[in-house]
Structure 1
Amino acid sequence: MVFLVRTDLNMGKGKIASQVAHAAIQLYKASLKNKNPYLDIWLTWGQPKIVLKIDKECETTLDNVYKDALKNNLTTCKIHDSGKTQIESGSLTVVAIGPNRAEDIDKITSQFKLL
């Protein structure tokens, strides 16, 4: 799984962890529901998770990554904050992809740096 986190929202570490956790659960549930063939492999290999940052044109960039993932038939989700703590309600905070083939995810996410 790869998680792309907006840095322009200035979320605290706990907030980022929470948003990434929401995304991980959504991807896992979607993978179960859709019988994702990569889920068992991902579980067997220690459930790798990579967190990347989006620094520029964050919301537009995240939307484009999400659309590319869908276009390539990758498991993906968007996380929008509920607005109860640090940021405005409905703010797009994370786009997540996987589990899928690393090569397929890398085609979409290789230009981003680790958080």
Structure 2
Amino acid sequence: MKQAIVARADLGMGEGKLAAQVAHASLMAYEDAPASDKKEWKGGGQKKVVLQANGEQALFELAEKAKAERLPHAIVRDAGHTELEPGTASALAVGPASDNRIDTVTGDLSLY
């Protein structure tokens, strides 16, 4: 079991901003997961991997793949209080779910 969080590398977010966006995405997708997957993932150490994509379109394409695979997922849209414009799609989380199911969506992406 794992969760993959995809952050936009093209936005040039500072380290703190990146960490906040990744955390938001992780929690939002977790809340979308079935109770049995939540329990298994929590019991297994809550494995996460942070990956990168360039551009808003890439996030939405990955979200569509996750939806087609019936995987829990969430896209973060920034409130615009600090570095990003309001509504900027900054990160996507997929899972928690089995590693191989997550990899069908994010397996070709590079680590952040």
- TM-score by structure 1 length? 0.91
Structure 1 residue 98, shift from structure 2 partner: 0.5
Which structure 2 residue ranges, 5 or more long, are not aligned?
A: none
Find 1:82's aligned residue among 79, 82, 88.
79
Q: Distance in 2 between the 1:10 and 1:85 partners? A: 13
Which residue does 1:39 correspond to in 2? 38
Find 1:93's aligned residue among 90, 93, 96.
90
User: 1 or 2, which has the higher strand percentage?
Assistant: 2
Task: Note the alpha carbon deviations across 1:68-115, whole angstroms, 9 max, x for none.
Answer: 101110000000000000011100000110011110110111111110
Code of the residue aligned with 1:53 in structure 2: it is Q
Find 1:9's aligned residue among 2, 11, 14.
11
Are positions 1:108 and 2:105 aligned together? Answer: yes
Which residue does 1:53 correspond to in 2? 52
Across the aligned residues of Structure 1 and Structure 2, the Cα RMSD in angstroms comes to 1.0
Q: Distance in 2 between the 1:80 and 1:36 partners? A: 25
Q: Distance in 1 between the 2:65 and 2:35 partners? A: 18
Q: Distance in 2 between the 1:20 and 1:91 partners? A: 14
- TM-score by structure 2 length? 0.93
Which structure 1 residue ranges, 5 or more long, are not aligned?
A: none
Q: Using the TM superposition, name which of 21-30 and 88-97 deviates more.
A: 21-30
Q: Percent identity?
A: 33
Question: After TM superposition, what 4+ stretches of structure 1 lie above 4 angstroms from structure 2?
Answer: none
